[in-house]
Structure 1
Amino acid sequence: MKIVAISGSAANNSSTAAFLYTVRNHFSGQYEVEVFDRLRDFPLFRPEELEKELPELIQEFKKRLIRSDAILICTPEYTHNIPAVLKNALEWITASGELAAKKVLPVTLTPNEPRGEWAMKSLLASLITMKATIVAELPLYKDEMRNENGEIRLNETTRLILEEAFRLF
């Protein structure tokens, strides 16, 4: 099974991307997890751009989504919402429907509870509008997942939850 894992962060060295690479490495024997962490490089969406040849990065993103069996979207929460780079990426694919009927696992990765609730609501609203098949919702807290060196690692609970969520794909 091919899973595209999208980092919704605008940061160059984001913890969402670190988390997704950790997921990819952990599940490499079971799933093909392809991390996409270049949303910050997307041009700003404008509806009139859809009438032109799409930028190469947008074309690449759309192809990856189409070829995937499932999508994992991991996002931080910025000002009680999803980051602008993630919203921008979703706008590039709304009209063309790459997420329609696609199985999606939305994940928020924030420092601690209750952060992430607003971002999840915002992401779910967009995914529902795009007719994605939401298999579960997963709020995660990086303060619970950091090892002694401060690196993001999958703890036992997170591993088990992800295994179950991936089975839903």
Structure 2
Amino acid sequence: MSETIVVGRIGKPHGIRGEVSVEPRTDEPDRRFAVGSQLQTQDKRPGAPGPAHLTVAGTRWHSGRLLVRFEEIADRNAAEEARGTLLLIPLDPDEHPADPEEFYDHQLVGLAVVTTDGAGVGTLREIVHGTAQDLLVITPGGDGPDVLVPFVSALVPEVDVPGGRIVVADLPGLLSDLDD
């Protein structure tokens, strides 16, 4: 069974012919948004229609932004309606990013989280993708609220997918909510 991963989010319309800006959520935008690629859609607005597909008709970079034309979006009005839509692709569970320092979310969710000393912290519940950096949402082993840890190498020095664990540096204040 394949996983579905988010590779982008539709932003503002660009021009009057249906072109939209896309916020890529992939390190391979040229591959994922190649002409002819079919992307599944997920609209998070209440009452929005269910999943559909969009077909990439063309892409270009303009002032550091990815602009995409989709066959199914013909004009500015349709582009405005598509704003905020998530773009997804099916992914074979055996597929891995080319860079060994990159991971798909589904590979990490559910892994055990430990400190550099080996003490158990909890389980990775989800990854929140922010504009500045990603955050790991860790559910502690005992009672207590989830803990957020920035997903940067200084705080997360090791990710061992085959070993089933993520190592987090226990810096003052980072995991302090777990000590209460």
TM-score range, shorter chain: under 0.3
Which protein shows a greater Rg? 2
Which structure has more relative contact order (CA 8 Å, sep 6+)? It is 1
